[in-house]
């Protein structure tokens, strides 16, 4: 059975009403049968896109403190040592995962632990793969601590199409690996900032699955 994320319920309901109303009205407003069928197919296609965007497949995380899972579905577009200026103010290993509009957009906790920091930043809507997107776009920054990895920061970043980031992490929360951490609506990316020397299980260009695929280990 297909599951949908709660952040999509309102949009899905509106899309269903509009789609059904449009399909029924077309036959009364347009007399050309082939044109009616063509527009109806476009409406159904639009509805399918909305439904697939908000799908929320059930995932079983490994629940391993020594493993870090991908927080989202998508493609690994950055692996590099960088300066992280907001929280660590020092060198970290950055791993960035880009989500296209066809990917599942649920954000999941990459590891179990305690939320030490959670902050929302308004900003621009540069394309998600832009080098400055991590520091200039609308974004949320969350830091989780566990005994194996120490502090790990992840950042939800809005893209050119994303107009709303949903973040459930609150400081002091005890969170469980693989559970729902939020949602980013329409095209975006997530950056992870890991301790230097972290052993990665992914390479540039790899496609990953959020909540289940181990991308780093201690």
Beta strands in the chain (DSSP E): 67-69, 74-84, 90-99, 106-108, 113-121, 139-146, 150-158, 164-167, 174-175, 180-185, 188-194, 199-200, 207-208, 214-217
Residues 208, 76: contact at Cβ < 8 Å? yes
The Cβ of residue 37 has, within 10 Å, a number of other Cβ atoms equal to 13
Catalytic entry in 19, 134, 188, 203: 188
CA 84, CA 80: separation in Å to the nearest integer? 12
User: How many angstroms separate the Cα of 99 from the Cα of each of 14, 86, 161?
Assistant: 24, 23, 11
Structure tokens at 10: 């309102």
Catalytic site includes residue 188: yes
Residues 133, 155: contact at Cβ < 8 Å? no
The Cβ of residue 6 has, within 10 Å, a number of other Cβ atoms equal to 11
3-state SS, residue 205:
coil
Q: Which residues are catalytic?
A: 188
């Amino acid at each position: 059975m297909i599951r949908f994320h709660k952040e999509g319920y309102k949009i899905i309901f509106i899309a269903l009403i509009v789609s059904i109303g449009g399909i029924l009205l077309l036959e009364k407003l347009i007399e050309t049968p082939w044109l009616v069928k063509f527009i109806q197919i476009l409406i159904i296609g639009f509805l399918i896109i909305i439904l697939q965007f908000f799908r929320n497949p059930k995932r079983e995380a490994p629940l391993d403190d020594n493993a870090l899972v991908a927080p989202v579905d998508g493609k690994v577009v950055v692996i590099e040592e960088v300066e992280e200026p907001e929280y660590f103010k020092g060198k970290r290993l950055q791993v960035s995962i880009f989500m296209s509009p066809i990917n599942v957009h649920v954000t999941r906790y990459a590891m179990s632990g305690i939320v030490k920091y959670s902050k929302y930043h308004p900003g621009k809507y540069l394309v998600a793969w832009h080098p400055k997107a991590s520091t200039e776009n609308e974004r949320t920054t969350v830091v989780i601590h566990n005994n194996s990895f120490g502090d790990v920061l992840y950042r939800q970043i809005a893209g050119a199409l994303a107009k709303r980031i949903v973040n459930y992490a609150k400081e002091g929360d005890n969170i469980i690996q693989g559970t729902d951490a939020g949602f980013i609506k329409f095209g975006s990316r997530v950056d992870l900032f890991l301790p230097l020397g972290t052993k990665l299980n992914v390479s540039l260009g790899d496609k990953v699955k959020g909540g289940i695929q181990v991308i780093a280990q201690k």
